Chain A
C-alpha cells in the first residue's frame, strides 16, 4: 500500500515538475508547480512528517505560488518560444547533472547508512508547539519583532509619503 502510494506520488511529483519546465505558458507552469508541491507534501506524509507537509502546502503552495501568479500577471508574459541555450548554460547544466549523478552513484555504491532506530515518535503538532513555547520562546518573540519590522518596512517603502502638516 505504502509502496503503491510512493510510486503514484513520485510519478506525480516528477511528471508535474517536468511540465513546469517544459510548459510554454507561465500560468500553466505555476499551476503544475502547485501540483508538484502537493505530490511532494504527500511524500512527506508517507515519511511520517505531517507537519512538514502542512508547512510545505501553506508556505509554498499557498504563499509562494500565489506570489508567482501575481508577478506573472503584473509582467504579462505572453507565451513564446524557448530561446536557444547559450554555451554557458549548457556547460553549467552538464556540470550540475554530472555532480548529481556522482552524488547518487556514491550514495548507492559506497554510503554506509546507519540502521534506522527502532521506534521514533512521530513529530506531532503538539511536540513542535511544546518546543516553541518552552525552549525556543525567546527566539519566537524575536521572530515576532522581525516580522513586525518587515511589515513596517513594506509599508514605509511602498506607501506614498504625504508630508505631515507643519504647525
Chain B
C-alpha cells in the first residue's frame, strides 16, 4: 500500500464534516460507560444526559447551518453533503429529542432497563443522519440496516409484554423481507452497471453518480429498471406505502409509545429523505417509469390508509393507519417534485408539521396511557378535557393539525403539497387526496369528540366497573414540551416564514 494512496484517502476522509454523527455515537458509548461507573442511585440522570447530548448536537448543527453544503463528496464518494442532508439532520435530531422526552415519561412505568434505550436511540439517530446523506449503496445499506436493527430491538423493548414481542417479531420478519428486496435491487443495479473505468479510477454500480450516468446513457435497460424499482420497494416499506404497509398497525400497537412515535416520525421521514435522494439523484433518468409507479402507490396508499383508519378504536393503530394516509399525501409531493422543483421543500415542510403534531399527540397518549400503559383505546379519552384540560387542548390542536384544519400548521403543509401537485398538473391524484382528507376528518374528529364531548352511558346493572384513575398530570418539563409543540403548531399555521424560508428556495 503506497503512502500516496493513503494520503489521498486520508484527504477525502474528512471526519469533522461528520461531527454530529460522531458526537452522537461517542455519547451513546459514554452512556454505557456512565452506567458502569456511577452508583445505581444516580442512574436516573442518564436519560437527561442523552437528552443533553441530542440538544447540544442539535444546537451545533443549527449554528453551523449557514455554511453552504453544495454536494461536496467525502470519504471517496460515500457521503455527499447537501442542503437536504442538513435539513434531515435537524429533523432527526429534533425528533429524537422529543422521543427522549416521551421515553422519560413512559419508561419508568415499565419494568425494563433504561440506559440501553437511550443508547439505542442515539445510535439509531446517528445512523438515520448518515442514511440521509449517503451517496453510495454500501453506505446506504449499512446505515439503513443499523436503523432497522435498532428498531427491531426498540419495538420489542417491553419484553414482559406479549404484544411488544409479537410486534418485534412481525417487524423482524417483514423488515428482513424488505431488506432482501432492497438488496436484490442493489445487486441488479450493480450487475447492470458493471465496472466503469474513468481516468484510471474504477467506478462500480454502488455509486449513485455512476448509476445516474449509466441510466442516462442506457434508457430502458431492463435489469437496471427492475433494480431501481426493487430499491424503491424496499424504501416503500420504511414509508409504509400501500403494498408494503402490512406491518404498520400491529407493530405500532405493540411497540412502546416512544418507539411508536419514533417509528411514525423518524422512520417515515428517513424513507422520504432517501426517496427524494434517489429519485432526484441516481434514478432521475427513470422518471418515465417512476412517475406512474409512485402515482399509483400514492393513490392506493391514501385510499387504503384512510379507509382502514375509519374503524379503529385503538389510538396507536389509528395513528399508524392515518400515518399510512399521510405517507400517501407525501408521495404526491414526491411525484410533483419531478416537475415542480420546490415540491421537495414542501415535502420537508409537511414532515416538520407532521413531527410537531404527532409528537404532541403521542405526548398526550403517553400521559393518558396510565400507570400500566394500557389506556390506548378511544374510550379511555372520555372526560379527558374536563379532568385534564391542558392535555385535552394539546390533543385537540395536535389531532386538528394532523387532520389539516385551518389555521393549524398541518393545513399549511397540506396546502403547500396540494399547490405543488396542482402546478405539476396531477389533478387525478389531487382529487384522491382531497377525498382522503375529508374521510380523515371523520376519524380524527371521533378522537376529539371522545376527549371533549361526553357521551352519557347508562350505568350497566351488576357490572360495576371501577372508575379509571385520573391520568397523571404532566410535570413542568412535560407541560413545557407539549405547550411548545402546540404553540409551534399554531404559529406555523399563521407564519410559515421561519420554516418555509429555510426549506423552500425563493
Using a CB–CB distance below 8 Å, which chain A residues touch chain B? 130, 134-139, 142-143, 145-146, 148-150, 152-153, 155-157, 161, 163-165, 167
Whether B13 sits at the interface, judged by CB under 8 Å, is: yes
Closest to A150 in B: B149
Closest to B112 in A: A161
Closest to A158 in B: B159
Give the distance to chain A from B15, nearest Cβ to Cβ, in Å: 9
Binds A, one of B119-127, B396-404, B490-498: B119-127
A163 to B130, CA, bound (A): 35
Closest to A156 in B: B116
Give the distance to chain B from A153, nearest Cβ to Cβ, in Å: 3
Residue contact A146 to B9, C-beta cutoff 8 Å: no
Whether B142 sits at the interface, judged by CB under 8 Å, is: yes
Residue contact B116 to A152, C-beta cutoff 8 Å: yes
Give the distance to chain A from B116, nearest Cβ to Cβ, in Å: 5
What per-residue 1/0 map shows which CB atoms of B22-42 lie under 8 Å from chain A?
000100100000000000110
Closest to B131 in A: A142
Residue contact B9 to A134, C-beta cutoff 8 Å: yes
Residue contact A143 to B142, C-beta cutoff 8 Å: yes
Which residues of A lie under 8 Å from residue B5 when comparing CB positions? 134
Residue contact A149 to B123, C-beta cutoff 8 Å: yes
Which residues of B lie under 8 Å from residue A167 when comparing CB positions? 41
Cβ contact of B40, chosen from A137, A152, A165, cutoff 8 A: A165
Which residues of B lie under 8 Å from residue A134 when comparing CB positions? 1, 5-6, 9, 76
Interface size class of chain B, counting residues whose CB lies under 8 Å from the partner chain:
35 or more
Residue contact B9 to A135, C-beta cutoff 8 Å: yes
A137 to B116, CA, bound (A): 26
Apart from the given pairs A149-B149, A153-B152, A165-B41, 7 other A-B contacts in the complex at a CB distance below 8 Å: A135-B76, A135-B78, A139-B78, A145-B127, A146-B142, A157-B153, A167-B41
A150 to B143, CA, bound (A): 14
A134 to B127, CA, bound (A): 20
Residue contact B139 to A138, C-beta cutoff 8 Å: yes
| 11 A-B pairs (CB sep. < 8 Å) | A136-B138, A138-B13, A138-B78, A138-B139, A142-B127, A145-B28, A145-B126, A149-B120, A149-B124, A156-B153, A164-B43
Residue contact B146 to A161, C-beta cutoff 8 Å: no
Closest to A159 in B: B113
Whether B250 sits at the interface, judged by CB under 8 Å, is: no
A155 to B1, CA, bound (A): 40
A146 to B156, CA, bound (A): 17
Closest to A148 in B: B123
Cβ contact of A146, chosen from B28, B119, B149, cutoff 8 A: B149
Which residues of A lie under 8 Å from residue B78 when comparing CB positions? 135-136, 138-139
Residue contact A138 to B41, C-beta cutoff 8 Å: no
- 8 A Cβ contacts from B480-505 to A: none
A142 to B134, CA, bound (A): 12
Closest to B165 in A: A157
Which residues of B lie under 8 Å from residue A157 when comparing CB positions? 153, 156-157, 159, 168
Closest to B28 in A: A145
A136 to B334, CA, bound (A): 31
Residue contact A139 to B142, C-beta cutoff 8 Å: yes
Whether B94 sits at the interface, judged by CB under 8 Å, is: no
Which residues of A lie under 8 Å from residue B41 when comparing CB positions? 165, 167
Residue contact A146 to B152, C-beta cutoff 8 Å: no
